[in-house]
Chains A and B, each alone.
Chain A
Amino acid sequence: MSGKDSRSGAAPRHGFSRTVFHRDAEVPRSPCAAMKDPRAGAGATVPGAGRWTDRLKVIPAATAEDFAACARALCPHDWLADGAYQAVVLAIDAEADTAGWLVGAYRGIAPAPAHRLSDSSAEAVTLWLSGIEDSDFFRRLLSRTVFHLYDSPLVWSGCGYEGVAGRGEGVQCRGIDDLDWLPDPQQA
């Protein structure tokens, strides 16, 4: 049984997904206000005005565009603007050792210029990634993409994770008991 919306499409299952569907249902996301503890820094930040590739220090611009296309194909949230994926690549760029390694590894496997990932469809990028799933390059790119994408309060907001929103020092978190579609437990 498969659910609707962005689960349908050409992406293969990559072999090991262990999600079991109990029933067919439209399941909307539940976006919310989200905030990151300021002590943690801002997380991967969407670049402002100007060419985002101008901010790169390690990754060449064309490669970075390809990496951004990969990041979206790895974690395809249709409601997220390109800036969120560019932010991921900028965050990876700031990890100089990892960025340098990824650039070097990519040189050996990148598609021909006529089939540049950043000019290709989402399906084509996904297909290319499926072909290199067993590579160290893929594993490291996926790992850093997941780390940085889901470190961002902008992404949290769309995914329904609040971070420290609604919370404060010395006060009880807001709405801990506001779920109204199941009964209150009867205390024995």
Chain B
Amino acid sequence: MPRFGLNEDRVVVVIGSGAGGGTVAHDLCVRGIDVVLLEAGPRIAPADFVQDENAAYAMLAWQDPQEARGGWRIARDLPGNPTWICRAVGGTTIHWTGTALRFQAHEFRCRSTYGEVAGSDLIDWPITYDDIAPYYDRAERVMGVSGKNGMPHHPTNNHYKVLHAGARKAGYRQISPGSLAINSKEHDGRPASWQDGFTLQGDRSRAKWSTAYVEIPRALETGHLDLRPGCCAVQIEHAPGGDVCAVVYADENGVRQRQRCAIVVVAGNAVQTPRLLLASASARFPGGLANGSGYVGRCYMRHTTGSTWSIFDKPVRMCRGEMMPGLVADEARHGPERGFLGGYYIELLSLSLPAIAAAVEPGWWGRDFAWFVERHGNMAGLFLHGEDMPQWQNSVTLHEDRVDRNDVPIPVVSYTEHANDLAMQAHGYAAMKAIHKAAGAVCSHDTPPWPASHNMGTARMSADPAQGVVDGWGRAHEVGNLFIADGSIFTTSACANPTLTITALAMRQAEEIVRQIRG
């Protein structure tokens, strides 16, 4: 692996090695561009992943201090823990459960489609579905998405039988074994899934796509990647003219280092990315780097979610097989006659007993709770995954006085649901209960949203620089050599899980960066 000098000002610095950062770094390296990739977390080999909920959480989760505020239940139940993302080479692609779905075309133009939505800061994306479609094609092939390009659907498991029987009887028709970026057969040098239910803990088999063991090793093979694990960016510096020129980071010994660079790509996930920009305020950018519009950290979105766990009078053993091998798409359309704008997917989801016990209803205890969780063997789950409305006051801001070990103010994540989100969620809970009841469930429990793995919107794309932070390439409106490559750039959240879109946008952005470098 090369080691580029700290004064090598021609390198591209990428901050964060997940779906966005890992993909951009790889795509630049294979085109011969030298990249320094800073990752706060360690490099963990798949052979070291542990098939255990609590041990895996301790190994992988970003646990640096944060604070949650606002009307959401997280602020009451888990105020120190609003997000569930990874801190390791590979980022959150290590723990993601593989659901790879495209946006629908209208989801790039929600303002035009839905009209003005009171209480929401809704705009259209500055790009269209047609702009991203070729990159969706490429990403699906690279990631090996099941049900496409010759990758078979994942095998039916017990849990899918429950979903399928219930959904059919409840009147749903768009039922499928899901769309998973997990090998159902050997592909790209990685085996087929062992179907053991352990993907959230890191996939020991590597059947699931992750930048950790796909893009990053390939980038290293090019000889153009200088990977620096244990290195946490603390500030981005700029030259007098405004262009970024260096990234200051705390290295694996906690010592401040300063890497000069020609271009910076920030991909720290949508809480850490705006935090870094805000913490990089200067005389020229008093509200935060590239934040003349004020939108850095604003319009934080996390999808409208919730889950339903039901008990049946016979065993299900939902953890046998992949975690999310089932999908109901009937509700993903925009159908305002239902009482809300936008749509949601109903996704099959299994969780281990430790996760269920902790998350099924924070604060629940006693006889009812024990009765419920001791029937885990008879339990089935569904996850509702829908669009949430961008609201200015939902935000990532810097804490007034608390700082982390690197002396950077900790992030405050503030979120209160929009009325549209709540209407969609209520509809979704009713739908999930109806599906389980139709399959024979004895009882169902509606579980509130848990800490967000999907964080979006906090450096959003906009056509008008006054209404966002980056342009259609993810390039900062105000800083021509600053790019953002994670979910922060999402103008709206859509009802699709974000990883496929983050990856496709990163592939597209890398081409633009190459054009910018090579003229």
Interface residues in chain A, defined as those with a beta carbon under 8 Å from any beta carbon in chain B: 3, 5-9, 11-14, 16-23, 25-32, 36-37, 39-41, 73-77, 79, 126, 129, 133, 139, 142, 146-147, 149-151, 155-156, 158-164, 166-179, 181-185
Tell me the complex Cα distance, A26–B375, Å: 12
User: Would B374 and A158 count as touching, CB distance under 8 A?
Assistant: yes
User: Would A156 and B443 count as touching, CB distance under 8 A?
Assistant: no
- Tell me, yes or no, whether B393 is within 8 Å of chain A by CB: no
- Which of B160, B364, B378, B442 is A160 in contact with, Cβ under 8 Å? B378
Tell me the complex Cα distance, A151–B57, Å: 12
Shortest beta-carbon distance, B117 to chain A, in Å?
28
A-B CB proximity, top 7 nearest: A160-B377, A30-B377, A40-B52, A179-B158, A161-B353, A40-B55, A185-B164
User: Would B368 and A13 count as touching, CB distance under 8 A?
Assistant: yes
- Chain B residues with Cβ under 8 A from A36's Cβ? 52
- The answer to whether residues A14 and B365 also contact, given A30-B378, A150-B357, A182-B162 and a CB cut-off of 8 A, is yes
User: Would A162 and B55 count as touching, CB distance under 8 A?
Assistant: no
Shortest beta-carbon distance, A157 to chain B, in Å?
10
User: Would B52 and A160 count as touching, CB distance under 8 A?
Assistant: no
User: Would A21 and B50 count as touching, CB distance under 8 A?
Assistant: no
**Nearest neighbor of A179 in chain B, beta-carbon distance:** B158
User: Would B375 and A76 count as touching, CB distance under 8 A?
Assistant: no
8 chain-A/chain-B pairs, Cβ below 8 angstroms: A3-B443, A7-B368, A8-B367, A17-B368, A126-B366, A151-B53, A160-B378, A167-B196
**Nearest neighbor of A20 in chain B, beta-carbon distance:** B444
User: Would B442 and A29 count as touching, CB distance under 8 A?
Assistant: no
Interface residues in chain B, defined as those with a beta carbon under 8 Å from any beta carbon in chain A: 48, 50-55, 155-158, 160-162, 164-165, 175, 191, 194-198, 204-205, 311-317, 319-321, 352-354, 356-358, 361, 363-378, 433, 436-437, 439-446
User: Would B378 and A172 count as touching, CB distance under 8 A?
Assistant: no
Shortest beta-carbon distance, A156 to chain B, in Å?
6
- The answer to whether residues A169 and B194 also contact, given A19-B443, A159-B376, A176-B157 and a CB cut-off of 8 A, is yes
- The answer to whether residues A176 and B194 also contact, given A11-B368, A13-B368, A21-B443 and a CB cut-off of 8 A, is no
Tell me the complex Cα distance, A39–B58, Å: 13
- The answer to whether residues A14 and B364 also contact, given A22-B442, A27-B313 and a CB cut-off of 8 A, is yes
Tell me the complex Cα distance, A173–B157, Å: 10
A150-B354, A161-B376, A179-B317 given; 9 more Cβ-contact pairs under 8 Å: A32-B317, A77-B374, A156-B353, A161-B319, A161-B377, A164-B198, A169-B194, A173-B195, A185-B160
- Chain B residues with Cβ under 8 A from A16's Cβ? 361, 363-364
Tell me the complex Cα distance, A169–B203, Å: 11
User: Helix, strand, loop or mixed for chain A's interface?
Assistant: loop
User: Would A161 and B352 count as touching, CB distance under 8 A?
Assistant: yes
- Chain B residues with Cβ under 8 A from A19's Cβ? 368, 372, 443-445
Tell me the complex Cα distance, A179–B436, Å: 15
Q: Which of B55, B357, B364, B367 has the most CB of A within 10 A?
A: B367
Total residue contacts A-B, CB cutoff 8 A = 218
Shortest beta-carbon distance, A129 to chain B, in Å?
8
- Chain B residues with Cβ under 8 A from A7's Cβ? 367-368, 371
Tell me the complex Cα distance, A151–B377, Å: 16
Tell me the complex Cα distance, A36–B52, Å: 7
- Chain B residues with Cβ under 8 A from A160's Cβ? 315, 317, 374-378
- Chain A residues with Cβ under 8 A from B375's Cβ? 27, 29-30, 159-160
- Which of B48, B369, B437, B441 is A75 in contact with, Cβ under 8 Å? B369
- The answer to whether residues A177 and B353 also contact, given A18-B446, A142-B363, A147-B54 and a CB cut-off of 8 A, is no
**Nearest neighbor of A171 in chain B, beta-carbon distance:** B194
- The answer to whether residues A151 and B378 also contact, given A146-B358, A176-B320, A178-B158 and a CB cut-off of 8 A, is no
- Chain A residues with Cβ under 8 A from B319's Cβ? 161-162
- Chain B residues with Cβ under 8 A from A162's Cβ? 317, 319-320
User: Would A77 and B195 count as touching, CB distance under 8 A?
Assistant: no
User: Would B320 and A175 count as touching, CB distance under 8 A?
Assistant: yes
User: Would B368 and A150 count as touching, CB distance under 8 A?
Assistant: no
User: Would A31 and B377 count as touching, CB distance under 8 A?
Assistant: yes
- Chain B residues with Cβ under 8 A from A41's Cβ? 55
- Chain A residues with Cβ under 8 A from B191's Cβ? 170
